[in-house]
Amino acid sequence: MPAAQSAAPPHQRQVLSPKVASWLQVAPMAVIFTLMVLIPLAIIFVVSFLDYDFAQVFPELYLGSWVDLFTSQLTLNLYALTFKFVAIVWVVTFVLGFCIAYFLSFHVRSGALRLLLMAAIAIPFWTSGPIRMVSWVPLLGREGLINQALMGLHLTSEPVTWLMYSEFAVLVAYINLLTMPMVAAMANSMAKIPHSVIQAAKDAGASEGQIIRDIIFPLIKPGIAIGSIFVVTAVMGDVFIVKQMSGSQVNTVGMSIVTELNAFMYPPAAAKSIVLLVIVLSIVGLLLRFADIRKELQK
Amino acid sequence: MKLALLKTPDTDLKVSPVPKDTAPATPKLKQATQSHRFDAEIVSVTKRYAPLGAPAVDNISLRIPRNSYCCLLGPSGCGKSTTLRMLAGHEDVSEGAILIHDREITTLPPVERGTSMMFQDYALFPHLTALDNVAFSLKVRGVAQIERRAKAREYLELVQMDHLAERLPNQMSGGQQQRVALARSLITRPKVLLLDEPLSALDPFLRIRMRAELKRIQKELGISFIHVTHSQDEALALADLIVVMNDAVIMQAAPAREVFETPTNAFVAKFLGGHNVIQSKGREVSVRADQCHLGARPGMNSLSGKISMIEYQGTNVRITVTTAENEDMTVLMPALTYFDHAPEIGETAQMSWEASDEHALAPM
């Protein structure tokens, strides 16, 4: 029956239902995310409720880690210091970042010069982290450039000791590291403002300050949010810079988690990590409400 | 509703950055009553971007009479946009002077010149509603919110956009955005409104509607509009004064009819279209395409060539005759006459015209 055969489809094509197809498409990411993020997080969460001694964790319910976290003045001080760092670094990088980005975007006329200056901001990041940390010593150290200058000018009789291995040094390093992402995020948003929009505001009689307040700030909100997320997460999650720049003399939440891990005190480290994670996610959530980042990534 | 707008006194804005003596007691939105000779005057203006480079605008002078719709017409790069930007104060003038209402404003900042620019891309503030866009210039002058919104609403009514006052720019069509941009320019009560290719981003239907609207608003306000365009149709339809520019200089500045009927040189004749530029008896002349005929006629001047294109345009038929020198000549004939003969592409043809229809052109 040749006619009948040709009327039937040559082979039965199995069409997946759209629902199944979408599930299959998200499956790889879902598996990776579950295995490498959700399950470890769940383990950390469970561990934070377990008892421990100097060498191991017992599978017994123990709320001491959590009680300590919320009652110990020492732990609360750690969080306070971490917040202080976040706040200071955010304010300074925001002000610096805005000024630099504004200058580059609206005052540098030549595109080539703008690119050159942008590249100049990035030059310090061509070296690795440890080298950058070490290179602060000749500047801020006891025998460093600044101390030599201060003593040479007879402003101080002996070296200023809080320049290096101090909270100050940690802040300097953070600001040095995090101003660039702030500049980049804001400059990126500013680049999307058409020149004619600024010109129209000027024509309407707006002063530079009014243009910044009424036009530029509202339009670069997404850039501010992205830069801020970068700064907040970097400072909250950092241990390396604190350790190097303070000579292990300043203790943040991140540092104490590392110290406890080194001492096999997994449950308190786990509890602190979870609290830190919740805080970071809340801040990010808050910033995302403030500005629609998807819009920024689209264009 | 529009009349009410015209009667709105400026004084209710309670704005006084302008010295009192320059503001009449009850100024109307209509400003043509003030005594000045020209709305705008360009005196020997030159613009060079590089100190020794070729000028973008080369020693041009122009007087724009009161209450005129002036079109700066020319191909891209002819200097028309640069001229407009110098009028707006967005570009420094290298040499020369610019006057608005007989007052020199060459070096004044945009806000003090009495001009207002409507940008080609509209340049609306994307985060502000139509109403707040229009009210922006009042806001920066410190006018209270209720007052400035009421005023802005009047201007939105003028451009028939008051029903969309709360929309953001990205929730409006191009034509609607343009109306808002127009209202935003007008609320500063400019003496001269500058429009940078305002219709180029619109579709053809909207373009024709909007240009009628522009003309209506210009007449209603009684101020001068200076409109940059590269479309000759637009310029002919709108302008009281057409300024044809090419290569940084003004080729001709005259009323639309004069420019079309008596172009000064071959460039103007060709750029406006509808003309044939012909070498006749050793001189260069232009003859309007609708005054040329197909076929030899006794007593008329003529040339011969081959029909290379026939375009049916409804009322008229446009026939292109290519001469032996490979120059394209155009004959515009009524469709009815065309169908009497129905010549075809490829046929050899004579094109003839009355010697009295020749218009002598100045050498370029």
Question: Would the CB atoms of A203 and B121 count as touching at under 8 Å?
Answer: no
* pLDDT at residue A11, rounded to an integer: 60
A259 three-state secondary structure? helix
* pLDDT at residue A118, rounded to an integer: 87
Q: Which of A199, A201, A218 sits opposite B90 (nearest CB)?
A: A199
What mean pLDDT value characterizes chain B? 87
CA distance B364 to chain A (A): 36
Most confident of A115-124, B33-42, B348-357: B348-357
CA distance A255 to chain B (A): 43
Question: Does B29 score more than 70 pLDDT?
Answer: no
SS3 letters for A152-185? HCCCCCCCCCCCCCCHHHHHHHHHHHHHHHHHHH
* pLDDT at residue B128, rounded to an integer: 95
Window 188-217 of B: residues touching A by CB (8 A cutoff) are 188
* pLDDT at residue A157, rounded to an integer: 85
Question: Percent of chain A having pLDDT more than 90?
Answer: 59
* pLDDT at residue A295, rounded to an integer: 67
Most confident of A113-122, B41-50, B295-304: B41-50
Question: Would the CB atoms of B136 and A206 count as touching at under 8 Å?
Answer: yes
CATH of domain B2-260: 3.40.50.300
Superfamily of domain B266-360: Nucleic acid-binding proteins (2.40.50.140)
Minimum CA–CA partner of B113 in chain A: A203
Structure confidence at residue B16 as a pLDDT band (50, 70, 90): very low
* Distances A59 to A28, A257, A266, B20, B98 between C-alpha atoms, Å: 33, 21, 12, 86, 87
* Helix ranges (DSSP H) in B247-341: 256-261, 266-272, 335-341
Higher pLDDT, A65 or A1: A65
Question: Would the CB atoms of B184 and A204 count as touching at under 8 Å?
Answer: yes
pLDDT tens track for B209-266 = 999 999 999 999 999 999 999 999 999 999 999 999 999 999 999 999 999 999 999 9
Tell whether A203 lies on the interface with B, counting CB pairs under 8 A.
yes
Q: Which residues of B touch A109 (CB under 8 A)?
A: none
Q: Which of A202, A207, A215 sits opposite B125 (nearest CB)?
A: A215
Question: Would the CB atoms of A197 and B88 count as touching at under 8 Å?
Answer: no
Question: Does A74 score more than 80 pLDDT?
Answer: yes
Question: Percent of chain A having pLDDT more than 70?
Answer: 93
Question: Does B19 score more than 80 pLDDT?
Answer: no
- What global pTM score does this model have? 0.80
* pLDDT at residue A164, rounded to an integer: 86
Cα–Cα distance, B214 to B70 (Å, whole number) = 12
The total of other beta-carbon atoms located within 10 Å of residue A203's CB is 28
> Could you please report the per-residue DSSP string of A63-108?
-HHHHHHHH-HHHHHHHHHHHHHHHHHHHHHHHHHHHHHHIIIII-
CA distance A132 to chain B (A): 41
Q: Where are the domains of chain B?
A: 2-260, 266-360
- The CATH number for A72-298, chosen from 1.10.10.10, 3.30.420.130, 1.10.3720.10, 3.40.1710.10, is 1.10.3720.10
* pLDDT at residue B99, rounded to an integer: 95
Cα–Cα distance, A101 to A220 (Å, whole number) = 11
Tell whether B94 lies on the interface with A, counting CB pairs under 8 A.
no
Minimum CA–CA partner of B90 in chain A: A199
Cα–Cα distance, B69 to B66 (Å, whole number) = 9
* pLDDT at residue B295, rounded to an integer: 86
Cα–Cα distance, A60 to A51 (Å, whole number) = 6
* pLDDT at residue A12, rounded to an integer: 61
Question: Would the CB atoms of B119 and A215 count as touching at under 8 Å?
Answer: no
Q: Which residues of A touch B120 (CB under 8 A)?
A: 196
Q: Which of A196, A206, A207 sits opposite B119 (nearest CB)?
A: A196
Q: Where are the domains of chain A?
A: 72-298
Window 124-143 of B: residues touching A by CB (8 A cutoff) are 124-127, 136-137, 139-141
- Strand pairing report for B328-334 and A50-52: unpaired
Work out whether the CA dihedral A79, A80, A85, A91 comes out positive or negative.
positive
Question: Would the CB atoms of A203 and B111 count as touching at under 8 Å?
Answer: yes
Structure confidence at residue B34 as a pLDDT band (50, 70, 90): low
What mean pLDDT value characterizes chain A? 88
> Could you please report the per-residue DSSP string of B176-210?
HHHHHHHHHHHTT--SEEEEESTTTTS-HHHHHHH
Question: Would the CB atoms of A196 and B121 count as touching at under 8 Å?
Answer: yes
CB-based burial of residue A234 (10 Å sphere; 0-12 exposed, 13-18 middle, 19+ buried)?
middle
pLDDT tens track for A35-46 = 999 999 999 999
CA distance B120 to chain A (A): 9
Structure confidence at residue A10 as a pLDDT band (50, 70, 90): low
Closest by CA position to A173, among listed A183, A182, A163: A163
* pLDDT at residue B3, rounded to an integer: 41
Question: Would the CB atoms of B127 and A206 count as touching at under 8 Å?
Answer: no
